[in-house]
Structure 1
Amino acid sequence: MDPLFVVISVLALVLFFLGLGVYVFIGLLLVSIFSLHFILDFSFFRIGTIMATILNRASTSWELSAIPLFVWMGEMMFHTDISSRLFNGLSPMVRRVPGGLLHTNVIGSALFASISGSSAATTATVGQITLAELDKRGYSRQLAFGSLAGAGSLGLLIPPSIVMIVYGVLAEVSISRLFAAGVFPGIMLALMYSGYIAVACLVKPQLAPSDPTPVSLLEVIRGIGQLLPLIALMVVVLGLIYTGVATPSESAAIGVASTLLLIVLTRQFNLGVMRNALLSSIVTSCMITSLLISAAFLSTAMSYLHVPQNVAALITTLDLSPGGLVLVMAVFYLLLGMFLDGISITVMSLPITLPLMVSAGFDPVWFGVFMVIMIEMAQITPPVGFNLFIIQGISKASIASVVRASVPFFFIMCAATVILLYWPDIALWLPNNLYGK
């Protein structure tokens, strides 16, 4: 059968089922079943046998246990005042910096991302705290929206990232190495965001009101005290992973226990908080796990159909340079990001894109970081930019104004991707030194 016909048929099936509005995991299962039955003429009994084997194997991976635990950590903080300590703690430290309190969006998102692992949770939590305060104090709404849209996506890159766990499971890459690889790129992006805010406010001082009030040492100390619980959680969770004392799953369990202890010590523990956090965690975790299981079956179906090999052969005929291949991948992921969420993008694309990048000589850990940044860009790209909708829901502003505000931060991500392409050690230095090459 013509390889091009097979590839086009599979893509048509994906678009057809997603266009019907069915859940993504159901769509993936149907694409796999229809492809195997109508293209390869497999019997439904044989397809069922393959499905049972794959689904059992995919759903019993130990690494998956980290996902609901990290989600639960983020939800518990979201439903208590632990997250509100971010703004109170950071305010005295950034008040006199060009851009002032706008930097709380960036630093607050980076800190919360290091605990929650979720872009949506980071954007929603930080946005609910900062946007109203920034608006009340006369800061530019556009710059407030844009900085939150960009920085909120750091929840995907700064560990413990749920998308990185998904990538590690599917790509069979060390999750600890992926976490380490996301640290410096995440810090670099945060610095680029803050740098842009500072320059923009120096060029146009009206974007951020000046605050001549001096910051006392006592205010800074109190601010640090507000941040200490979050910093302690971050040190516990990531420190256990990077020192090799615990696996990501074990560290997630310890992180949950530490968060529970913190909630008890701050006298916020009650059944209502726990119920809401658990329900939200169950919904999110079931969604992620169902996607992973269906993606494993799709990956097997694609192997039977030789889709990865055919697409690889097609791109090989283009004789692309490594930079050209990265550009093609970037466009591919941005197109997917216009319609799908980050986890769906990962599970649907990886069976095709990972073999291509590895065969071209790219490190799979570096590609994981690259892919996450592409997904971050998708988070602020219409029509399905989840961060955009979250900010619009919090601020009640028009979606068009939120989209316009995010444009500069989209291009900052593009610049960060180019930097990582030419200096891959920004991502690879830490995992290589922690765990060896």
Structure 2
Amino acid sequence: MNEAILTFALIVALFALLGSGVWIGLTLAGVAWIGMELFSSRPAGDAMAITIWGASSSWTLTALPLFIWMGEILFRTKLSESMFKGLAPWVNPLPGRLLHTNVVGCTIFAAVSGSSAATCATVGKMSIPELSQRNYPADKIIGSLGGASTLGLLIPPSIIMIVYGVAAEVSIAKLFMAGVLPGLLLGGLFSGYLMVWALLNPDKVPRAEAATTIGRKLWESRHLLPVVLLIGGVIGSIYSGVATATEAAAVGVVGALILSATQGSLNWRSFRDSLLGATRLYCMIALILAGAAFLTLSMGYIGLPRQLAEFVTGLGLSSGMLILAIALFYILLGCFLDGISMIVLTMGVILPTISGAGIDLIWFGIFVVIVVEMAQITPPVGFNLFVLQGMTGREITYIAKVTAPYFALMALALLLLWWFPGIATWLPSRM
């Protein structure tokens, strides 16, 4: 069957199931079952059982619920409130004020988790209640969180960079270095957008608190010390080689419990509520991950990603047009697959063409990560959209709408990366 017709049929099935109110994870698994049952020779039931069990029992995945639990502890104790007290004097003078805490918080936590879903869930648990309580617009709270949380893929350590480095046989350390400046660039673009919006809509931003002196700002920064110590402990345990990402997540949970106990805000109720809250949120995410894993397997058996990749590489395009075609290809593929699966299924076909065109593989790795970031907030299967939906109860179309400006900003970052490749290649060249 022609791949265009097959793609259209699967998209129709996806929207039909989502529109009927079926849970997102079950929808993904259902579309995968339809594709495998009708368009491949592999028995769908057997494949579903094996894939869902494998996706649910991954040791690497253990880091995600631990980071979510850490966020729940921060949210239900005084630590999140302390973070806002410490950041407020510094960001209040900026147009947009406390909305910048989403961008700053995601940028910092991205250096801890390596996952956009964990970044979104953890920072969101802290920022959404605090900003809502201060009457900031819901669309800007959710949009800035959805956009900035994608930095979890770009700012090292990044799980997806490790996958790409293995597939492309390039230095993972250099990839990590290459992600630093583009990550800061995206953070700057996000904050810049919030400033422009705030200047154009001053009536929608709560009033700033009274101006404070530098001494007062430094004094208020003491509230940041617990969170800085916690993040420093997690990052330090990873970069010192003492702990893996999963073990570092456990360090974060223990550290959050110790700090909240030290502040006197940890009790049996807050402990129980944080554990139950993390369990509920992770169960929602895990069901989506299981469905996405089965959909990935189904697409692999059907051969759709490879067929599309071969079509793109067979067009004989110039390097500029080739990069544009690959960007559109990955954005389309992101409608069905998670980022890691996109790389695993397509790199074998794409990389020879990229190497033949003389494109630096380190630069291309950063390019691919940013495009995958864009897919995280692209409906119908943008994973961060689902995480935000589970946290806020909003419709997926609403969340996609409020995160659309950040999709455009990431597209702008890709253009800047093409025009100024040194943004990605300068730091690795210094190693």
- Structure 2 length normalisation: TM-score? 0.73
> C-alpha displacement at 1:93, in angstroms?
0.9
Give the length in aligned residue pairs.
410
Moved more, 233-242 or 152-161: 152-161
**Hey, what's the Cα distance between the residues in 1 that align with 2:247 and 2:123?**
26
**Hey, what's the Cα distance between the residues in 1 that align with 2:82 and 2:5?**
52
Match of 1:65 in 2: 59
**Hey, what's the Cα distance between the residues in 2 that align with 1:111 and 1:194?**
14
State how 1:411-422 maps to structure 2 within 5 Å.
411-422=408-419
Query: CA distance change for structure 1 residues 182 and 230 in 2, over 3 Å: closer, same or farther?
Result: farther
State how 1:123-162 maps to structure 2 within 5 Å.
124-135=124-135, 146-159=143-156
Match of 1:121 in 2: 121
Match of 2:184 in 1: 187
**Hey, what's the Cα distance between the residues in 2 that align with 1:145 and 1:297?**
32
**Hey, what's the Cα distance between the residues in 2 that align with 1:36 and 1:397?**
36
Unaligned runs of at least 5 residues, structure 2: 18-25
**Hey, what's the Cα distance between the residues in 1 that align with 2:130 and 2:392?**
11
State how 1:81-120 maps to structure 2 within 5 Å.
81=77, 82-116=79-113, 117=115, 118=117, 119-120=119-120
User: Which of these residues, 72, 75, 87, is aligned with residue 69 of structure 2?
Assistant: 75
**Hey, what's the Cα distance between the residues in 2 that align with 1:57 and 1:181?**
35
- What SS does the corresponding residue of 2:328 show, helix, strand or coil? helix
Match of 2:350 in 1: 356
- What SS does the corresponding residue of 1:235 show, helix, strand or coil? helix
- Is 1:232 matched up with 2:226? no
**Hey, what's the Cα distance between the residues in 2 that align with 1:422 and 1:152?**
25
> C-alpha displacement at 1:95, in angstroms?
1.5
Q: Is the 8 A contact 2:85 2:220 kept in 1?
A: yes
Moved more, 91-100 or 239-248: 239-248
> C-alpha displacement at 1:143, in angstroms?
5.0
**Hey, what's the Cα distance between the residues in 2 that align with 1:152 and 1:123?**
8
Query: CA distance change for structure 1 residues 389 and 93 in 2, over 3 Å: closer, same or farther?
Result: same
**Hey, what's the Cα distance between the residues in 1 that align with 2:150 and 2:55?**
27
Q: Is the 8 A contact 2:168 2:351 kept in 1?
A: no
- For residue 121 of structure 1, what is the amino acid of its counterpart? A
**Hey, what's the Cα distance between the residues in 2 that align with 1:178 and 1:65?**
24
Match of 1:376 in 2: 373
Q: Is the 8 A contact 2:94 2:195 kept in 1?
A: yes
**Hey, what's the Cα distance between the residues in 2 that align with 1:397 and 1:291?**
21
Q: Is the 8 A contact 2:150 2:373 kept in 1?
A: yes
> C-alpha displacement at 1:372, in angstroms?
3.8
**Hey, what's the Cα distance between the residues in 2 that align with 1:286 and 1:322?**
39
> C-alpha displacement at 1:416, in angstroms?
0.8
- What SS does the corresponding residue of 2:338 show, helix, strand or coil? helix
Q: Is the 8 A contact 2:55 2:289 kept in 1?
A: no
> C-alpha displacement at 1:283, in angstroms?
4.9
> C-alpha displacement at 1:10, in angstroms?
6.1
- What SS does the corresponding residue of 1:83 show, helix, strand or coil? helix
- What SS does the corresponding residue of 2:191 show, helix, strand or coil? helix
Moved more, 171-180 or 238-247: 171-180
Q: Is the 8 A contact 1:31 1:298 kept in 2?
A: yes
Q: Is the 8 A contact 2:51 2:290 kept in 1?
A: no
Query: CA distance change for structure 1 residues 345 and 240 in 2, over 3 Å: closer, same or farther?
Result: closer
Q: Is the 8 A contact 2:69 2:278 kept in 1?
A: yes
> C-alpha displacement at 1:330, in angstroms?
2.4
- For residue 350 of structure 2, what is the amino acid of its counterpart? L
Unaligned runs of at least 5 residues, structure 1: none
Q: Is the 8 A contact 1:76 1:274 kept in 2?
A: no
Match of 1:277 in 2: 278
Query: CA distance change for structure 1 residues 155 and 219 in 2, over 3 Å: closer, same or farther?
Result: farther
- Is 1:196 matched up with 2:201? no
Q: Is the 8 A contact 1:122 1:155 kept in 2?
A: no
Q: Report Cα offsets for 1:307-329 as digits up to 9, x if no partner.
A: 72x54443233211232222223
- What SS does the corresponding residue of 2:80 show, helix, strand or coil? coil
- For residue 274 of structure 1, what is the amino acid of its counterpart? L
> C-alpha displacement at 1:356, in angstroms?
1.0
User: Which of these residues, 18, 23, 28, is aligned with residue 24 of structure 1?
Assistant: 28
- What SS does the corresponding residue of 1:213 show, helix, strand or coil? coil
